[in-house]
Structure 1
């Protein structure tokens, strides 16, 4: 049975103040009290946002109508709108936000920089370019297959790693290489877009700014399966990444292969970001904002993987709902996050860090 340990003087000196030591036999675990409390607060907030997002529309469907549609007791039109259009879209948005928030948490931790997101590392641009290139010459105006997102992300990541001299190296080298690859790949994607007819370019443009319109269980089911496999791995990687706050020699002395850990965490971030972009488009600022907000809640000693996932899901859900009610014409979720993310980015840039004195 797991019981709280009674820490002695030595244990009190090394145990983080936000943790509780749990032990079972010879094994022990630091339970993050502050991080667990943050997750416990974020979970009901996310559920509330999901409920509001299912109701949100320009037609003003009320709570009773929404519930009747969800339970199948309303008229056929209401049931179809709620069950076949709104609920799948909201659920897909939750998963896209969770993937973006988690990917951003990993890349920021690896680079040691709060501005290091999958977009900045070229991963988002690679996923976008792959989907855009798949519709070259098409006249339907439909976007390409969602699974091309992870393929493009992996291809861009391989190019970044080759340019940086290895994924297990210093974070700043991967960051600089990612900026260069992102610029080149993004320009290639824009070139492909400029060569398309108006019908194709218009259809792809809506997705290219980040949109959940038309997303249903056909993409939601494989995305859910992927997240059920990837998120536990990401939680395990995040636990190990906490050692990056020490220098490399100290971490190596604790039995951590830093190059392998960094490479594995980077690979997870790439796949998660590619999945999110392939399904929902390159939604801006979520991968940047979610880990920063989660870190504020969980404390500076943790890698807030779970908190970033919940925060990212909440941000996407709220932005998508807001885009459906804020204007007469529906605004893509990427437009809403861009408008709200600009001031947030300025806050991140100009806010002095209390511990280091750096922006």
Structure 2
């Protein structure tokens, strides 16, 4: 029983838990999730097959252990939320995240876009002014925004990316007005209170989710207009090779969330140093199995390798935002 749990990602554990619930109870849980979480967990549920009794038992035991340490206490104070999250994540990491949480709670028009596929969002905003498009993309999750950007005309992308990178916050009234305009298409009300969107990091995060060729082409076009801005964006990007700077504890945490198939594909194009980084943070048996799988894996498309690397990077960024690992190498020391 103890061996089954480490093979499951967090998403797979959530899927198993929901599958053990009744339909009504599972639906109630899903209502409290965001669009990205619903999509990931739903896909995992659909792909579940031949789940062992030991795996189910382990997931349920872990869930019960977690719940026993929770309380029913709910605290709704914005000041409390800001203070706790800033204490947990640090001011830099917590700032934008807090604003997005508090904004999303009351925003209807912008929030509705998160539930649409990239092409649908692109159709809605493609005729808007580049500044409006930049604000909308800054509000979306980076991978979603990258998908939307890819649907927009190539000639418009550099200007949009530069505007995203140049955004330095937004007046609440302006964001509220944009939200109300979008909301008229979906109905409802809004009460926007937060406005931390855009910036160099936002532009870099979006680029991280584009495929390699599109990413480089867009950076080159921005460089022709504003070399300094292009360099700042590139400096803020996090690529797969940067995982070499993550400490061993962080890599071990990351491995618990990454599927074996994704890791095999991602490491196909990695050098020996990067591979050793992962091997040494696995058990001897798991490392040997991974080596064998890599050797046995035939030729794969570079696009598949890049996609797997980006998926792993997305997990790493999510964990970094949650304070579970440091992407910068070094970071805070432990005592």
Question: Given the two structures, how large is their TM-score scaled by the length of structure 2?
Answer: 0.29
Greater relative contact order, per chain length (Cα 8 Å cut-off, separation 6+): 1
Question: Given the two structures, how large is their TM-score scaled by the length of structure 1?
Answer: 0.27
